[in-house]
Amino acid sequence: MKYNAILKVGVLIENNGRLLLIKERNWKNGKYQWNIIKGTHNSLKDKNLIDTVMRESLEEANAIIKIESLQNIIYLKKHNQPFIQLNFIAKLKHIKKNPINKILKPKKHDDGRSEDIIEIKFFNKTELKKMKIGELIGERAYISIQNWLNNESFPIKALKNVKNY
């Protein structure tokens, strides 16, 4: 059986040497764990992957960002469904309705989806280095944070948008 890959994005938002993480419910175990901001590309809403990153940052953390670089590309399978996730590094420009360090209620979107995010917090490098993999929602978040701690990224111009295919 042939499956089309689902395209995901993630973003690691920096501010003054700190990294913004969200605490959300893990669909596997029901526990709340730390994660990077991420989501699925929606070709009906998003012109390109950058639009997806901007939309997800606003939806999940009320964050207005400036994308700086492409961090990594992760390939995974869930129930035989392939996923490709492109993670980006961005600088925080502004937070609308500041949710940082406040306990949040799950947010409902216009399309019926909900974000089960209960906390948004900045972590410095020392705190991130001490964080155990079990405190994070999964390996994707762990790998991306480790890449960020090691200053691993690619120029944003490595991502090309082709209009005529």
Nearest Cα to Cα of residue 90 among 144, 41, 34: 144
Q: In which element (H, E) is residue 63 found?
A: strand 63-78
Tally of CB atoms within 10 A around 10: 22
Per-residue pLDDT of the chain in tens (165 residues, 90 and over written 9): 566 899 999 999 999 999 999 999 888 888 999 999 999 999 999 999 999 999 999 999 999 999 999 999 999 988 889 999 999 999 999 988 766 655 555 555 455 555 688 889 999 999 999 999 899 998 999 999 999 999 999 998 888 878 776
Domains of the chain: 6-157 (3.90.79.10)
Contacts of 106 (CB under 8 A, 6+ apart): 114, 115, 116, 117, 118
Q: State residue 137's pLDDT score.
A: 92
Q: Reduce the DSSP state of residue 21 to 3 states and report it.
A: strand
Q: What is the pLDDT of residue 68?
A: 96
How far is CA 14 from its chain centroid? 12
